[in-house]
Structure 1
Amino acid sequence: MRANFIFSEVLNGLRRNVTMTIAMILTTAITLAMFGGGLLVIQMADKSQKIFLDRVEMQFFMNLDVSKSDPDCQKAPCSTLRTELENAQGVATVTYISQKEAYEASKEAFADSPEIAEMIDPSSTQAALRVRMKDADRFGAVLDEFADRKDLGVDSVLDQRDLVKRIFSVLDGARNAAFAVAVVLAIAAMLLIVNMIQIAAFTRRTEVSIMRLVGATRWYTQLPFLLEAVVAALAGSFLAIGGLFGAKALFFDRALEDLYGVNILARITNSDVLVVSPWLIAGGILLAGITSYVTLRVYVRE
């Protein structure tokens, strides 16, 4: 009997304040969708970072004397450097790029700009040792160990970690922007919940007073108000989840298709959205439940 009464009171309350309920549902949905978008960006960044770390490499450019005198890296100091790199902890492969190969690669890179390609001097092109890591955590240690080995013919080093950092700074910015918008919208949703509770309590103040006079507990009379907010937030949560599935299909899959194709960014999948979904539902319930409880304790005292 009590459960039926509470259920009917929740439905009546949602129906009486239908415009505010709709506003709360939409605001909660947008809030949680932005929060979920931030979580998806984090997942994308984590998976993309693994892709980059698996592919990231460093190149040790040999000085011109070594590049010209030892085209096949068969003599010291080039062979010595190659052997030490191969034996270094965490190194997967070491590939020698001769002066001729480096020149051809440079010409090919500027194939669309022939005026620049013509300016490349084959005699000033440097040979290099390209190193790929099997243990990404050892990247910095290997780089630091060999970067200044002038005695082994090292002239300069190409460190691709800077490129990776720039790419992930963009992803971090997108994540932070999504979370910032979510925080602002969460505040708006909380204010809507407070107003909704206050209006509902004011509308039913006579009913609540009568129930208290006949022995109803404070918790029993206030529970319908709390459940109204939770139900509206749950509706917003499911709407947000649906929005994330839609955003994945209409935005992520289409706008990032080229980057997915060349394996620059990790693909966001339906499984990723499903992993985020429980957090959105829990977030919606907590947002509505805590705000409603505090409002009832502060505002509804009878």
Structure 2
Amino acid sequence: MTIAVVVTMAVSLSLFGAGLLTSMEVDLVKGRWYDKIEISVFLCTEHTQGGMCEEGKGTTEAQRESIRQTLEANPEVAEVFYESKEEAFEEFQRVFADSPILGSRTVDQMQDSFRIKLENPENYSGVVSEAQGLQGVQNVQDLHRILDPMFNWLNALQWATIGMSVLLLLAASLQIANTIRMAAFTRRREIGIMRLVGASNFYIVLPFLLESLIAGLIGIVVAGGTLAIGYYLVIETNAKTSIQALPWIDWSHVTTAILAMAAVGVALAVIPTLLATRKYLRI
């Protein structure tokens, strides 16, 4: 039963640590990408259709100024930048310098646009809906539609990992309590004698606490080693070299997760032991 306690605790703590690392990675990616996300409001030209465009007509100067004033008045908007057709064409030439489509566009075919930086990048839906209803706006490009599904999957993975670890931690606590209860039952006569001769509760409980703590510490060491090896093989060796565009957690995050695992493991060893031995302290 002690071996079962160690194995269950090691597996549950490993999953708990993996959930913490996943949460840290999601926060890092959100912090890096959300701060850089801008909403692009593309204006009408004579060649564009759809949105709030009039067929064959581009956005007028009055409409352009009205769009700017409306966007700047929105409390969720931090800054508004205007990109002219000439600037958009220069960026197009830079991006597709080595592509055969470089000569497929002229300055007149480019769309001028407003780039919007938000106060809080997560509160974007109101700005997008407002911009889409402005006269002279052809399209609103929002990268959140691309990134949000990825973050939703990462969050689901994070909570699934933590949820499984919580269930296994509960199983480990029940196993610890059952193991200590059986040990106390087999030694109930010795415990009764110690109570009769005036032994303190701490003196009686100490052997059981040491037993559960040793099992817990072994589980913590195994889980910590598993987490460190998993991080090195998955993140340090492979992910960081193959996907360099993303920010990745480092060893400081692993250390934080291991410390959190150790705290949970010690609490998991101590609390069930104290609860399991209460009955025998009253003998």
TM-score above 0.5, yes or no: yes
Distance 1:247 1:142, change over 3 A: same
Matched, 1:252 2:235: yes
Counterpart for residue 278 of structure 2:
297
Matching of residues 27-38 of structure 1 within 5 Å = 27-38=8-19
Distance 1:61 1:98, change over 3 A: farther
Distance 1:134 1:60, change over 3 A: closer
CA distance in 2, matches of 1:93, 1:100: 13
Counterpart for residue 7 of structure 1:
none
For residue 278 of structure 1, the aligned residue among 259, 264, 281 is 259
CA distance in 1, matches of 2:63, 2:86: 15
Confirm or deny: 8 A CA contact 1:86 1:94 kept in the other structure.
Answer: no
* Paired residue secondary structure (2:211): helix
Counterpart for residue 250 of structure 2:
269
List runs of 5+ in structure 1 lacking aligned partners: 1-19
CA distance in 1, matches of 2:141, 2:272: 53
* Paired residue secondary structure (1:237): helix
Q: How many corresponding residue pairs?
A: 268
Distance 1:255 1:94, change over 3 A: farther
Question: Following TM superposition, by how much is the alpha carbon of 1:252 offset from its aligned partner in structure 2, in angstroms?
Answer: 2.5
Confirm or deny: 8 A CA contact 2:88 2:112 kept in the other structure.
Answer: no
CA distance in 1, matches of 2:176, 2:127: 56
For residue 187 of structure 1, the aligned residue among 170, 181, 190 is 170
TM-score of the superposition, structure 1-length normalised?
0.73
Counterpart for residue 52 of structure 2:
none
Confirm or deny: 8 A CA contact 1:58 1:160 kept in the other structure.
Answer: yes
CA distance in 2, matches of 1:87, 1:215: 77
Counterpart for residue 127 of structure 1:
111
Confirm or deny: 8 A CA contact 2:41 2:140 kept in the other structure.
Answer: yes
Counterpart for residue 226 of structure 1:
209
Question: Following TM superposition, by how much is the alpha carbon of 1:26 offset from its aligned partner in structure 2, in angstroms?
Answer: 2.2
Matched, 1:168 2:151: yes
Deviations 1:33-61 (A, max 9, x none): 11111111111111111111122122222
Question: Following TM superposition, by how much is the alpha carbon of 1:142 offset from its aligned partner in structure 2, in angstroms?
Answer: 4.1
Confirm or deny: 8 A CA contact 1:59 1:159 kept in the other structure.
Answer: yes
Distance 1:42 1:163, change over 3 A: same
Q: Which region of structure 1 is more displaced relative to structure 2, 179-188 or 168-177?
A: 179-188
Counterpart for residue 91 of structure 1:
79
Question: Following TM superposition, by how much is the alpha carbon of 1:190 offset from its aligned partner in structure 2, in angstroms?
Answer: 1.4
Distance 1:87 1:202, change over 3 A: closer
* Paired residue secondary structure (2:139): strand
Question: Following TM superposition, by how much is the alpha carbon of 1:171 offset from its aligned partner in structure 2, in angstroms?
Answer: 0.8
Counterpart for residue 146 of structure 1:
131
List runs of 5+ in structure 2 lacking aligned partners: 49-55
Question: Following TM superposition, by how much is the alpha carbon of 1:91 offset from its aligned partner in structure 2, in angstroms?
Answer: 1.7
Confirm or deny: 8 A CA contact 2:78 2:117 kept in the other structure.
Answer: yes
Matched, 1:40 2:25: no
Counterpart for residue 53 of structure 2:
none
Q: Which amino acid aligns with 1:210?
A: I
Deviations 1:153-173 (A, max 9, x none): 102211211222111101111
Distance 1:254 1:95, change over 3 A: farther
